Amino acid sequence: MNFRHLDYVIAQFFDVSTSPVFKVLSQGHINDTFCFSANGREYILQKINRDVFRTPEVLMQNMVTVAEYLQRNSDLPHILFPLFNKQGACYAQDLEGAFWRVLPYIPNSYAPDVVTTIGQAEAAANMLGRFLAALKGLNTSRIQDTITGFHNSINRYAVFDQVVGRSSLDLRKKAGKSILAIRQYYPLFKEIQELSLPKWVVHNDPKISNVLFDQTSHEALCMIDWDTIMVGSILTDFGDMVRTACSSASEEEKDLDKIFLRPDFFEACCKGFLPAVQHLLTEVEQNHLLDGVKWIVLEQTMRFLTDFLDDNHYYKTSYPDQNLFRANNQLALYRSILAQEQELHQIIQQNLVT
């Protein structure tokens, strides 16, 4: 990382006498995130990945719209309000034209990759439920797409099919069983499409690492990473929370025998999530909550596998075949859900307040 670029960006937001000290917080799948101090306060500096988000101006306008709406219409403890630079923009560009944003840093906080306690699972799901309930009144016309067709699994499957056809024989051989599994389970996407689900403004990527917790109390503080806030279905948000909060291991685990959905953690997610949103859910949404979990797990399997077959253009990798391991990890989780489907349905029904 060229820190001269970072100094140039910071100077567009602050007058500082010395160059800030930057600390790497995350170099995750998509964006790079740093922490720095300026004028006695700490901030987050994040680079927006232009390969994924082609219209960063739209992304940041969505973020401001949501932050302003939540500030007026919610009691959430923390709201991610981006800072405006000296020219009044909510982002800045570096010397090479890359887009950056600055956010307040919430001290004494952490974002987990794996949930280790039932209390964490319930708190995370409740924070997501409160966040979505607060957004329910936001007019969907005010939010633009940052990634077109983000959870359009039918279209994603068509892309997957094309990538399989043009990928190398070696890659197809490595991924052969996984490719067949995607083809076998594909009808789920058609069933979801036929539900005609209601559209909300939703997070679209509420994995557990996008929930910020207090280091001391382990209470959930806020939802972070708003890049994919768009109009979508609440089922995918519930599904992604369950996918990451209830799995026995992170999506980086290679030993498939260690991967399963934990029913006690699933129950905790239902206890946290449903009281916050149930009064807003339609009957079709209530009846298909578990389908939302299956949907997002299978879609994520397909996304990792597509990227593996397409030379890893989307997700960052640190070793060969990492996206194939990730895909097989999610496939193991999907099969675990299928094996427990009846029990999981019962847990949902027991936690829907009548």
Identify whether residues 228 and 97 lie together within a single domain: no
Our CA dihedral for 155, 199, 101, 76, rounded to 10 degrees, sits at: -150
Domain that holds residue 75: 3-104
The residue out of 82, 104, 126 marking a domain boundary is: 104
Q: At 47, which helix (H) or strand (E)?
A: strand 41-48
pTM: 0.94
Chosen domain end from 78, 104, 130: 104
208 and 246: one domain? Answer: yes
Which CATH number characterizes residue 156's domain?
3.90.1200.10
My answer on whether 222 and 287 are in the same domain is yes
Q: Dihedrals φ, ψ of 266, to 5°? A: -65, -40
With 0-12 / 13-18 / 19 or more C-beta atoms within 10 angstroms meaning exposed / middle / buried, residue 160 is buried
Residues 79, 216 share a domain: no
Same domain, 309 and 176: yes
Classify residue 109: in a domain, yes or no.
no
Q: What is the pLDDT at residue 33? A: 86
Tracing tokens 């719209």 back to the chain, one arrives at 65
What does each of the 354 residues of the chain score in pLDDT, given as a tens digit? Answer: 556 778 899 999 999 877 788 887 764 555 678 899 888 899 999 999 888 899 999 999 999 999 999 999 999 999 999 999 999 999 999 999 999 999 999 999 999 988 999 999 999 999 999 999 999 999 999 999 999 999 999 999 999 999 999 999 999 999 999 999 999 999 999 999 999 899 999 999 999 999 999 999 999 999 999 999 999 999 999 999 999 999 999 999 999 999 999 999 999 999 999 999 999 999 999 999 999 999 999 999 999 999 999 999 888 899 999 999 999 999 999 999 999 999 999 999 999 976
pLDDT at 27: 46
Q: Give residue 25's pLDDT.
A: 74
User: Residue 229's CB: how many other CB atoms inside 10 A?
Assistant: 23
Q: Is-contact 272 216, C-beta < 8 A?
A: no
CATH number, position 39:
3.30.200.20
pLDDT of residue 314: 85
Residues 6+ apart with CB under 8 A from 113: 208, 209, 250, 252
Residue 62 lies in a domain: yes
pLDDT score for 26: 60
Does 206 reside within a domain?
yes
55 and 185 housed in the same domain:
no
Q: Is residue 338 part of a domain?
A: yes
Inside any domain, residue 112: no
Residues 178 and 266 in one domain: yes
Per the structure, how many domains does the chain have? 2
Q: By the 8 A CB rule, do 236 and 204 touch?
A: yes
Cβ(218)–Cβ(120) below 8 Å: yes
13 and 153 in a single domain? The answer is no
Tell me, yes or no, whether 164 and 126 share the same domain. Answer: yes
Question: Which pLDDT score, from 0 to 100, does residue 129 have?
Answer: 98
Residue 146, φ and ψ in degrees, nearest 5 = -100, -25
